[in-house]
């Protein structure tokens, strides 16, 4: 009775108004995103009803926290006439500010959805740290003047509609101090209950990832991402006894035809690499290409005409046509290529506070006399790259090392690819003069929104979309190789080109393999014979494969394998999407999620596979063994 009377007849009547306004705005955004997706199935009566009803649950959970300032405001002002006026003023100010903030948040969600096809998640959490790059990217990619003008107009209109009646409600009589205290204490149970009870369970009632994203609420998803940014695998994911993991990974080693076990790591997959031929001291240049999925490369079955240089390179290279990225962000690609570890839940290793002590591609080559470099056209504090690569045995060279006089074009993410490649060439020339082999890992940035690049390089105007950025990156790689061929060190160098991830996110299942398929070329005329490899492989296999081509002996704690040794007999791939990690083998994908959730789906049609299927049982055990073991080893090594 206290709550009913208070919320209907007193100043607390403003609370339902705030709830309704927020729910309507959130629902409008949700419907807008459903229409934007252009998928008629989402708009069917049953699907849309499920999405909207489950979405309303998350909206109410989110607004329960947003109501806290209004509840405290209603409690502190006395019941006198002056207190009623002050409450009306302060409530109106709170509501006006809140409406502006909510509308700003809705616009931010639209921009985020346009980029990642998702509500706020781990990426948004990380981007809050790197405001320079993120704000700069938005400024260069979108017409902010028009967006903010529209936002201001919408805010004023909404304030004029909502605030006057709220003023009148806020000026109503107030319960006495004791009753207001009881109401506030009682209300505190609502957000607390949402904190513990509104979990991911309602999402699981929806059939597809895009439906689950649409039914989410941006602020609430952001809050949960903050909570789950560093997840304990043992606590949240399916596990196996250590003895079972040991047996499974020993079987994996045998299936992969790898050598005897090693003390290099306690992960169960550690093994000795003993080449049958002497080591080859070739220079290594590894280029990780921003957002280049196989669907953009003609020679990998993709778009025609966008990658003439890389397509021409295919006939002269060792190419891998079924290689899969581990994630959907650059930092995941860098983690996989450098550390050769599966994409464990939570934040990628490079951006964790403790990220040092693990074996890396650079550290192995450095032990064998190489100068190891990481070259990045932006500022390497982004995604903690400088700290991570410096601790992994690399010399880090970034925008601060590139003279402004040598730059033709740059965006908020970094200098253009051609400027980065020209800078890299000068560094490689300097290293070559020393007479020691060098390893340079280059990270490109031009194939990233705002998709701008120097004019006159290609036949697609700058800032017209990803097609142009892809074609420009391809041009820059062709120009880089043309210049590299004039260097005396060229004939003694192995070039590796591969993507960090694709440009796709959502799909028909949690981890759609087609959204992780990336190209890779290994090019070294006179040393590596051209050949096409069609075996399923993972981005974590890049380091062991490259070291195998050079006949480098080492005690491996890598979870990856040499594709040319193990690829045909042991085809599998690892992939992750925020909270879900997965393992693909034999036409099935095992997905592991929080709350010990396990799913097995067929790659071809996404249908569920019953756990009674013997193959599904084996794959579940393998997936858990890899991820549990990798999580434990990362935690153990980086804590030392």
Task: Return the pLDDT at 139.
Answer: 77
Task: Return the pLDDT at 236.
Answer: 82
159 & 277 share domain:
no
Please indicate, yes or no, if residue 625 is contained in any of the structural domains.
yes
| Listed residue (31, 19, 95) closest to 59, CA to CA | 19
Instruction: Report in angstroms the alpha-carbon separations of 278 from 18, 271, 417.
Output: 73, 19, 36
Strand partners for 584: 573, 589
Task: Return the pLDDT at 8.
Answer: 63
Mean pLDDT of 271-283: 94
Task: Return the pLDDT at 199.
Answer: 83
Task: Return the pLDDT at 169.
Answer: 92
51 & 86 share domain:
yes
Report residue 334 as tokens.
């860098």
Please indicate, yes or no, if residue 592 is contained in any of the structural domains.
yes
Please indicate, yes or no, if residue 570 is contained in any of the structural domains.
yes
Please indicate, yes or no, if residue 567 is contained in any of the structural domains.
yes
Task: Return the pLDDT at 222.
Answer: 82
Please indicate, yes or no, if residue 346 is contained in any of the structural domains.
yes
Task: Return the pLDDT at 142.
Answer: 83
pLDDT at 264 over 80: no
Task: Return the pLDDT at 265.
Answer: 66
216 & 278 share domain:
no
pLDDT at 229 over 80: no
The dihedrals phi and psi of 272, each to the nearest 5 degrees, come to: -85, 135
pLDDT at 1 over 50: no
251 & 206 share domain:
no
Mean pLDDT of 494-500: 98
What pTM does this model have?
Answer: 0.82
Number of domains in the chain: 2
Give the span between the Cα atoms of 150 and 155, in whole angstroms: 8
Where does residue 586 fall: left (phi above 0), alpha (psi -120 to 50 degrees), or beta otherwise? left
Task: Return the pLDDT at 195.
Answer: 85
Please indicate, yes or no, if residue 233 is contained in any of the structural domains.
no
Residue that finishes a domain, picked among 193, 227, 261: 227
pLDDT at 55 over 50: yes
Mean pLDDT of 112-134: 71
Residue that finishes a domain, picked among 162, 192, 227: 227
| Listed residue (640, 635, 501, 633) closest to 558, CA to CA | 633
Task: Return the pLDDT at 615.
Answer: 96
**Structure confidence by residue, pLDDT tens digits, 362-419:** 999 999 999 999 999 999 999 899 999 999 999 999 999 999 999 999 999 999 999 9
**Structure confidence by residue, pLDDT tens digits, 300-328:** 999 999 999 999 999 999 999 999 999 99
Task: Return the pLDDT at 126.
Answer: 64
Could you count the other beta carbons within 10 Å of the beta carbon of residue 5? 12
DSSP string, 382-408: GGGHHHHHHHTT-EEE-GGGS-GGG-S
Mean pLDDT of 96-103: 94
Query: How much of the chain exceeds pLDDT 90, in percent?
Result: 76
Preceding omega of 450 cis (within 30 degrees of 0): yes
**438 vs 115, residue with greater confidence:** 438
Query: How much of the chain exceeds pLDDT 70, in percent?
Result: 93
Grade residue 577 by pLDDT with cuts at 50, 70 and 90: confident
Where does residue 38 fall: left (phi above 0), alpha (psi -120 to 50 degrees), or beta otherwise? left
| Listed residue (8, 3, 18) closest to 98, CA to CA | 18
Task: Return the pLDDT at 120.
Answer: 83
Grade residue 107 by pLDDT with cuts at 50, 70 and 90: very high
| Listed residue (554, 552, 546) closest to 271, CA to CA | 554
Task: Return the pLDDT at 242.
Answer: 93
pLDDT at 121 over 90: no
Please indicate, yes or no, if residue 236 is contained in any of the structural domains.
no
Residue that finishes a domain, picked among 171, 204, 227: 227
176 & 270 share domain:
no
25 & 126 share domain:
yes
The domain containing residue 451 runs over which residues? Answer: 242-638
303 & 341 share domain:
yes
452 & 581 share domain:
yes
312 & 202 share domain:
no
Task: Return the pLDDT at 118.
Answer: 80
Task: Return the pLDDT at 150.
Answer: 92
Mean pLDDT of 238-259: 92
pLDDT at 6 over 70: no
With a CB cutoff of 8 Å and minimum separation 6, the contacts of 368 are 279, 281, 552
488 & 412 share domain:
yes
**551 vs 234, residue with greater confidence:** 551
Asked if 428 and 487 touch (Cβ cutoff 8 Å), the reply is yes
Mean pLDDT of 185-207: 87
Mean pLDDT of 449-477: 96
Grade residue 201 by pLDDT with cuts at 50, 70 and 90: confident
| Listed residue (289, 214, 248) closest to 47, CA to CA | 214
**Structure confidence by residue, pLDDT tens digits, 360-371:** 999 999 999 999
Residue with tokens 């506070």, as numbered in its chain = 353
Task: Return the pLDDT at 234.
Answer: 86
Which range has the worst mean pLDDT, 201-205, 261-265, 301-305, 552-556?
Answer: 261-265
Task: Return the pLDDT at 230.
Answer: 61
**Structure confidence by residue, pLDDT tens digits, 65-89:** 999 999 999 999 998 999 999 999 9
pLDDT at 135 over 80: no
337 & 453 share domain:
yes
192 & 327 share domain:
no
Which range has the worst mean pLDDT, 140-149, 545-554, 588-597?
Answer: 140-149
Task: Return the pLDDT at 545.
Answer: 98
Please indicate, yes or no, if residue 500 is contained in any of the structural domains.
yes
Q: What is the CATH number of the domain that holds 267?
A: 3.40.720.10
The dihedrals phi and psi of 322, each to the nearest 5 degrees, come to: -135, 50
């Amino acid at each position: 009775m206290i709550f009913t009377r208070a919320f209907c007849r007193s100043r607390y009547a403003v609370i339902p108004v705030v709830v309704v306004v927020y729910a309507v705005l959130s629902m409008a955004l949700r419907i807008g995103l459903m229409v934007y997706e252009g998928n008629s199935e989402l708009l069917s009566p049953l699907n849309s009803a499920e999405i909207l009803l489950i979405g309303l649950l998350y909206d109410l959970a989110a607004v329960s926290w947003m109501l806290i300032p209004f509840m405290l405001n209603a409690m502190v002002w006395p019941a006198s006439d002056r207190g009623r006026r002050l409450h009306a003023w302060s409530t109106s100010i709170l509501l006006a500010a809140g409406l502006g903030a909510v509308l700003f948040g809705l616009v931010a969600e639209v921009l985020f959805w346009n980029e990642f096809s998702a509500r706020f998640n781990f990426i948004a959490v990380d981007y809050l740290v790197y405001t320079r790059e993120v704000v700069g990217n938005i400024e260069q990619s979108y017409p902010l003047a028009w967006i903010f003008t529209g936002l201001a107009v919408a805010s004023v209109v909404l304030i004029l509609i909502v605030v006057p009646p709220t003023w009148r409600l806020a000026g109503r009589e107030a319960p006495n101090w004791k009753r207001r205290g009881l109401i506030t204490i009682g209300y505190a149970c609502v957000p607390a209950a949402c904190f513990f009870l509104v979990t991911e369970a309602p999402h699981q009632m929806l059939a597809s990832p895009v439906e689950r994203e649409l039914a989410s609420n941006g602020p609430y998803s952001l809050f949960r991402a903050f909570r789950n940014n560093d997840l304990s695998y043992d606590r949240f994911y399916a596990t196996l006894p250590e003895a079972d993991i040991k047996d499974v990974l020993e079987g994996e080693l045998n299936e992969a035809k790898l050598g005897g076990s090693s003390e290099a790591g306690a992960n169960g997959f550690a093994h000795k690499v003993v080449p049958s031929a002497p080591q080859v001291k070739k220079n290594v240049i590894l280029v990780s290409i921003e957002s280049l999925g196989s669907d953009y490369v003609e020679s990998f079955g993709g778009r025609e005409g966008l990658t003439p240089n890389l397509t021409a390179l295919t006939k002269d290279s060792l190419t891998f046509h079924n290689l899969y990225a581990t994630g959907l962000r650059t930092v995941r690609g860098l983690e996989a290529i450098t550390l050769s570890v599966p994409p464990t839940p939570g934040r990628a290793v490079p951006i964790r506070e403790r990220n040092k002590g693990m074996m890396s591609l650079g550290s192995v080559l450095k032990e064998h006399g190489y100068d190891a470099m990481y070259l990045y056209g932006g500022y390497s504090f982004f995604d903690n790259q400088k700290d991570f690569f410096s601790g992994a045995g690399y010399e880090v060279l970034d925008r601060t090392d590139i003279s402004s006089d040598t730059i033709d074009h740059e965006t908020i993410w970094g200098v253009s690819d051609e400027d980065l490649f020209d800078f890299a060439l000068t560094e490689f020339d300097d290293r070559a003069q020393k007479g020691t082999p060098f390893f340079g890992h280059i990270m490109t940035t031009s194939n990233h929104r705002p998709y701008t690049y120097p004019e006159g390089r290609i036949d697609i105007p700058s800032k017209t979309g990803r097609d142009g950025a892809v074609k420009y990156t391809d041009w820059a790689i062709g120009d880089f190789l043309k210049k590299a061929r004039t260097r005396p060190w060229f004939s003694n160098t192995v070039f590796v080109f591969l993507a960090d991830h694709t440009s796709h996110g959502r799909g028909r299942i949690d981890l759609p393999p087609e959204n992780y398929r990336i190209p890779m070329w290994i090019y070294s005329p006179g040393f590596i014979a051209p050949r096409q490899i069609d075996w399923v492989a993972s981005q974590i296999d890049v380091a062991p494969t490259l070291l195998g081509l050079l006949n480098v002996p080492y005690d491996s704690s890598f979870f990856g394998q040499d594709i040319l040794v193990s690829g045909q007999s042991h085809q599998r791939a690892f992939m992750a999407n925020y909270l879900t990690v997965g393992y693909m083998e034999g036409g099935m994908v095992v997905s592991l999620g929080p709350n010990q959730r396990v799913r097995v789906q067929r790659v071809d049609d996404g249908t569920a596979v019953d756990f009674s299927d013997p193959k599904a049982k084996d794959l579940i055990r393998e997936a858990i063994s890899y991820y549990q073991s990798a999580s434990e080893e990362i935690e153990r090594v980086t804590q030392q």
